[in-house]
Amino acid sequence: MAHVLGVSGSYPMLVALWLLPLAGAILCWTFGPQLRTAAGWLVCALVGASFVLAVLSWHDGTQAVSGALGAHQPLFSWMPGFDFGLLLDPLSLLWTFVISGVGFLIVVYSVGYMEGDRAFARFFAYMSFFIFAMLTLVLSDNFVGLLVGWGLVGLASYFLIGFWFERPTAVAAARKAFVINVVGDVGMMFAVFLIVANVHSIGFGDTFAAAGTLGSGLVFAICLALFIAAAAKSAQVPLHTWLPDAMEGPTPVSALIHAATMVTAGVYLVARCAPLWNVSHDAQLLVGTIGGLTALLGAILGMAQWDIKRILAYSTMSQIGYMIMGVGVGAYEGGVAHFFTHAFFKAQLFLGSGLVIHALANEQDVRRMGGLWKKMPFAFWVMLAGVLTISGIPPFSGFFSKDEIIYGALAHGHPWLYAVGIVTAGITAYYMFRLLFIAFLGEYRGDAHIHTGGTAAMIMNVPVAILVAPTVAIGGALMFGGEASPWAHYFAPLFGAPAVPSTPVATPAISEGLTSLLVLVAVAIGLVIAWMRYATAAAQRDAVLRLAIESERMPALLTNLFYFDAAIDLIFVRPAQAAGRFFGQVLDPHVLDGAVRDIVAGTRWFGTLVRSFQTGLLRAYALILVFGAACFIAYYALTGGVH
Amino acid sequence: MSVPVGDYVALASVMFFIGVIGVVVRRNPLVMLMAVELMFNAANLLLVAFARLWVANAGHIFAFIVITVAAAEAAIGLAIIVTTFRPEKYVDVDDVRTLHG
Amino acid sequence: MGLVLVTILLPIAAAALLLLLPRDDTTLSRIIGTLVAVVTFATVIAAGTGEWSAHWLSRPFNAAFHFGATPISFWIALLLTICTASAIASCRIDRTRDFVALLLALEGTMLGLFLARDLLVFAFFWDLMLVPVFFGLLGWGGHPATAWRYFIYNFAGGLTLLLATAAFGVIVGTTDVIGRAGTPLVGGWAPWIYAGFAFAFLVKTPVWPLHTWMPPTYSSLPSPMVAVVSAVQSKAGLYGFLAIATVMLPAYVREYATPLIVLGAISLVYGAVIALVQNDVKRIVAYSSLSHLGLIIIAVASQQQLALDGALVYIVAHGLFSATLFLVLGYVEEREGTRALQRLGGLGWTNPRLSGALCIAALAALGLPGLAGFAGELIILIGLYQAGYVWPAIVALVAIVLASAYLLRLYQDVMNGPERADLPVRPDLTLLEGLAIAPLLAALVLVGVYPTPLLTHQNLVAAQRIAPP
């Protein structure tokens, strides 16, 4: 892992591609009322320019000069060891492509989707700000810069989830997302403490160079703290509960932030810190296990949803589980590959569902859809492409990246995760086709008027159509051929040879080809079950009734989402509130302030006591005086005076 | 033939206690003031007597200072009595309780 | 260099002269007040670390009217002058003339405190700066009991401070010691002197359980004044710890570090948890102050170089965001006539700029990375961790999570949600109000991105101290 820090120098393009979206955000914030609809196109132009600059930076980002890989632009320093800068290497370059490229398409889509919204400019300010924040996250060359980006994307996500802030549900979802993400930020802060205390630097380069000398316990602690951050941001169990609620935001937001980019930050983090994870086998096991668990759990919950966006949200959670499992077990290229393909197909799925939601006047319940393939053929075909890809059917992109992860789990010695991966693939196929069949086949069951056409729909269709190509083909184009693929070639200098597990494993009993076959069998089973339940003529006949019965009979465990929310509420939220009420209403006013009031009362009582001697009778004073004098005299008479 | 110092002390003690009783039991402020003077003079008598005994003139000087202070005190005391009791027909300290707590 | 003297006397003189204006004047006194505050800001910068000194006492110990900024107090003085200018510029209140005069008097007395280089002068201004706030509470703040509670509580602190100062002067022979490297005091009366200082500083900050004067004071003071009080006056105790206790009595700061850290940690969590359920917006900010300042107390007690560096950053950061929070919440209260969370809501649609300002202030307060609060917290916590104070650091991290919960609750319950039909619709942030808080917001971003100047100055002072164990 010698190739970490880039070639230091001045890279104006890098700085420009980073700051352009910030400029967009500031302009939209400041001149929102004046810009009106131009705000959208302004942000499109700036993000597009950012993407062009990213493409032009390809050479800088992949250059390898005497052991240094990529481009490094120093910015400023707080104090020795606290140096900030930008780092563009193959990993951050890939993320930059997705953030600015997919981001550009989604921003264009939003111009149509958000048409007529009363806070149009504000929306684009947030979107632009998000892209800046996400670029900060992936371009930082140090942990504090990463943490800044980490916090800012959380903020952008908060703003956009709560964008329609007149809805109490959106406000609550935004707050929940933010607070859970702060838990992640705090985890990363702790990792920063550990790193600074032991490495005396916040830089990636210094940290990774020292990784081998830190001791496995310490590295495990750092990885654990970092993974809390990754789990919160990437919706891993048990910090996942905010993601489905985050669907309260506008659909383009779900596509960009809660599918393509921000939620994959955890994958980026683990891949970026590969030198740390390589040292700690325990950390690999932990992250791989949590990833596999999340993949399975997300898929199971995805089967029980009726809201089109929540189905996609759980599928996102599940797919990120795959990625985390991949990077966790050490199959970094596979995990990152799945991020890359997922960014396209999930963006496409969300944008496709956005077409439906937009046409159906914000109807999101699949039970009140049906038969849409006749009325919205374009939406149907893009959704079909997305569903085929996410299910992992060859030769679509998802097949390549997902197989790489599943096989990677076995190759790195985790047969259980391998099995989980295959089962989850089957469940994925089931719930995604279920979505497609219920929403698009049969007869239309809703009562909303389907409104297609118009300029808004035209603007939205273009980016979706453009996305189809990478969704379908990019996996095959880049990842076909295993070790010889362009993908492996691109990442070879970064990740180097696959990480060596602490216990060497023999060549897996199951070959990669057989793995693909197993996955395909699982997918076929899922597909067939979905077909039998929702697509046959019998199932279509009284679909309304059948769906109603199905939702009626849904197990409580699933409708309550495995009680995660209830548990968090019971364990953390309620005790904190109860303590707050006790402290604020009992301890503070009655005990602590009570002590103060007791002092006041004591002083007053003493005053009353002393006052009773002040009779105002001159002769009484004289008597007291005489009495005092007598005491003195008696004292001296008895003791014999002072000598 | 000098008088023994014990006699002075006895006389001064008697004068002093007459003064004390005067202040405590009488209600007329003028009489109380005179009783205070009596106590002063008891002290003066002792000062002078012991000055004679030890042949130290500081006692004489002290006595003069006390006499001066007593005069000033009587002047101020009388002034207070006059201003306080001007509207009254009789003077009685027990009637003035404006200083009670 | 008499400029530093001008800095202190100008606001006080201006406060006195303002009373020559007609009683019912509003605009002119505000303009004059703002101008004076801005000029004071300029003179603080111009004076730099220049000093001015005049002999005061030679017996029982040497004392001098000695003024001049130290590298720590320079930043606090800047903070104070910015906050005062912002507070005066946008204040709309009855009896404006008197109120502005009080604010200027407050500024002058606090400048006297922070710029004092003599302990006795420090103690003198310590008591003097209570007076404007006391009259603010009496005249504009509701119940007189709050005013008395504030005054007596802080005056008790002032008393122990004065006693400790006197003892210090008698033992050392001079009180002209602030900002000067000297031999630390050890043995004999020194622990008692430290106790006297510490009590005064802890009451002023405040720290649990000496905080009960603070929530009623902060919630009943008019917003412009509470902005200055919470932003700067509460820092007097922390400044005392940094500039006096750690320099002159370092042995005892270290010896009694544990109780301080425990009190700080309790304040951190206690304030945060209460802020979660309060309904008065100003009380939420008051309790959040208790929580945030607890962290600085821990940092001071740790005596770790980096944590002390961070403490100054966080002092400035807290000053900036609490002033902004109180000012903006004051604008809200002025518009809607209430500060109860249950009654507020949905203002974001009609008042987007107000909403943005509150949002930035709340985010800085909850430690959003990239804003000032984060920089301070991060540096303090790294220092604490390095010094081996792992548990206080973890408690602080928990408090950060709680802070995000209560500050978002504050922001969202005021600005988000459906529009309330029973709330009057008022105009958005005016240009004047915007200009008033713009410097604060800009400083929040600036300090968050680049706190280095604050760190370097603190380093210079810290270099004079004995290295921590």
Contacts of B25 in chain A (CB under 8 A): 619
Report H helices in C19-143: 27-47, 71-89, 96-115, 119-128, 130-140
How do beta strands A83-88 and C51-57 pair?
unpaired
State pLDDT tens for residues C356-372. 999 999 999 999 998 99
A175/C212 Cβ within 8 A: no
Chains C and B touch (3+ CB pairs under 8 A): no
Give pLDDT tens digits for A605-639. Answer: 999 998 888 888 888 888 888 899 889 989 988 88
Size of interface A-B (CB pairs under 8 A): 38
Query: Confidence band (pLDDT; 50, 70, 90) for C429?
Result: confident
For the ranges A30-39, A122-131, A619-628, B31-40, the lowest mean pLDDT is seen at A30-39
What was the pLDDT predicted at C119? 93
The string of DSSP letters for C211-248 reads -TTHHHHHHHS-HHHHHHIIIIITHHHHHHIIIIIHHH
Rounded Cα distance between A355 and A352, Å, is 5
Among the partner-chain residues C393, C398, C405, the one whose CB lies closest to the CB of A179 is C405
Give contacts of A28 with chain C, Cβ < 8 Å.
none
**pLDDT score at C463:** 40
Q: pLDDT at position A457, please?
A: 82
Name the residue in chain C with its Cα closest to that of A122: C352
Predicted local confidence at residue A377, as pLDDT: 87
Amino acid at A436: L
CA dihedral sign, ordered C5, C6, C10, C16: positive
pLDDT on residue C456 = 62
Q: Is pLDDT at C460 greater than 50 in this prediction?
A: no
Cα C180 from Cα C182, distance rounded (Å):
6
Widest distance between CA atoms in chain A: 124
Question: Interface pTM (ipTM) of the complex?
Answer: 0.91
How far are the Cα atoms of A474, A509, A510, A518, C170 from residue A513, in angstroms, in the given order? Answer: 20, 12, 8, 9, 89
Q: How far apart are CA A185 and CA A191, in angstroms?
A: 10
Contact B24 A626 (CB under 8 A): yes
Please state, rounded to an integer, the average pLDDT across all residues of chain A.
88
pLDDT at C469: 34
Check whether A502 has a pLDDT greater than 50. no
Best C217, C397, C402, C420 residue to mutate vs chain A (most A CBs within 10 Å) = C397
CB contact (8 A) between residue C382 and residue A197: yes
Interchain CB contact of A613 with B (< 8 Å): yes
Q: Is A8 helix (H, G, I), strand (E, B) or coil?
A: strand
pLDDT of the residue at A473: 84
A616 against C120, higher pLDDT: C120
Q: Can you tell me the mean pLDDT for A130-138?
A: 95
CB proximity C417 to A under 8 Å = yes
| pLDDT above 80 for A643 | no
Chain A CB within 8 Å of residue C274 CB: yes
Chains touching C by CB (3 or more pairs below 8 Å): A
CB contact under 8 A, B101 and A612: yes
8 Å CB contact of B24 and A618: no
Report residue A383: phi and psi, to 5°. Answer: -65, -40
Q: What is the pLDDT of residue C464?
A: 39
What is the separation, in whole angstroms, between the first and last Cα of chain C? 39
Contacts of A622 in chain B (CB under 8 A): 23-24, 32
Phi first, then psi: what are they for A80, rounded to 5°? -55, 130
pLDDT for A524 equals 92
Of A611, A619, A622, the CB nearest to B101: A611
Long-range contacts of A484-488 (CB under 8 A, 24+ apart): A487/A333, A487/A337, A488/A333
Core vs surface per residue A26-52: b (16+ CB within 10 A) or e: ebbbeebeebeebbbebbbebbbbbbe
Tell if the CB–CB gap between B101 and A619 is shorter than 8 Å.
no
What pTM was computed for the model?
Answer: 0.89
CB C276 within 8 A of CB C366: no
DSSP one-letter string for A614-637:
----HHHHHHHHHHHHHHHHHHHH
pLDDT band at C147 (very low <50, low <70, confident <90, very high): very high
Interface of B with A in 59-98 (CB under 8 A): 93-94, 96-98
Residue A361: is its pLDDT beyond 90?
A: no
pLDDT, mean of residues A303-312: 91
Inter-chain residue contact A610 with B101, CB threshold 8 Å: yes
* Identity of the residue numbered A137: L
A373-387 pLDDT, tens digit each: 888 889 899 999 999
pLDDT range class, residue A505, cuts 50, 70, 90: low
Q: Given an 8 Å threshold on Cβ–Cβ distance, is A614 in contact with B93?
A: no
CB atoms under 10 Å from CB of C465, counted, come to 15
| Cα four-point dihedral sign A179, A181, A184, A188 | negative
**Bridge partners of residue A73, in order along the sequence:** A86
Strands A71-77 and A83-88 turn out to be: antiparallel
Strand partners, B15: none
The amino acid present at C186, given as its one-letter code, is V
Residue for token digits 């497609």? A436
Q: Is the pLDDT of residue C97 over 70?
A: yes
Q: Which residues of chain B are within 8 Å of residue A619 when distances are taken between CB atoms? A: 23-25, 27, 93-94
- Neighbour subunits, B (≥3 Cβ pairs < 8 A): A
Token pair, residue A509, equals 């009993």
Residue A336 CB contacts under 8 Å (≥ 6 apart), including other chains: A91, A94, A267, A271, A323, A326, A327, A491
CB atoms within 10 A of CB C460: 11
Q: B24 vs A613: CB contact, 8 Å cut-off?
A: no
Helix H or strand E encompassing C299: helix C281-302
A151 pLDDT tier (thresholds 50, 70, 90): very high
- % of chain A exceeding 90 in pLDDT: 44
Given this model, what pLDDT does residue A496 score?
A: 60
Nearest to C276 among A152, A577, A595 (CB): A577
The proportion of chain A whose per-residue pLDDT surpasses 70, expressed as a percent, equals 97
Directed axis angle between helix A216-233 and helix A265-272, to 10°?
A: 160
Nearest chain A CA: its distance from C273 CA (Å): 5
Q: Which pLDDT score, from 0 to 100, does residue A508 have? A: 66
Put simply, the answer to whether B24 touches A610 (Cβ < 8 Å) is: no
Q: What is the pLDDT of residues B49-87, one digit of tens each?
A: 999 888 888 999 999 999 999 999 999 999 988 888 887
Residue C284 pLDDT > 80 = yes
R_g (Cα) of chain C, nearest Å: 21
The verdict on a CB contact (< 8 Å) between A614 and B24 is no
Check CB contact of C363 with chain A, cutoff 8 Å.
yes
Contacts of A612 in chain B (CB under 8 A): 101
- The residue of chain A nearest to residue B94, with distances taken between CA atoms, is A617
* Cβ–Cβ contact C409 with A under 8 A: yes
A509/A36: higher pLDDT:
A36
Question: Which pLDDT tens digit goes with each residue over A13-69?
Answer: 999 999 999 999 999 988 887 887 888 999 999 999 999 999 999 888 888 887 788
Interface of A with B in 583-612 (CB under 8 A): 610-612
Q: Is the pLDDT of residue B1 over 80?
A: no
State the maximum Cα–Cα separation within chain C, in Å, rounded to a whole number.
69
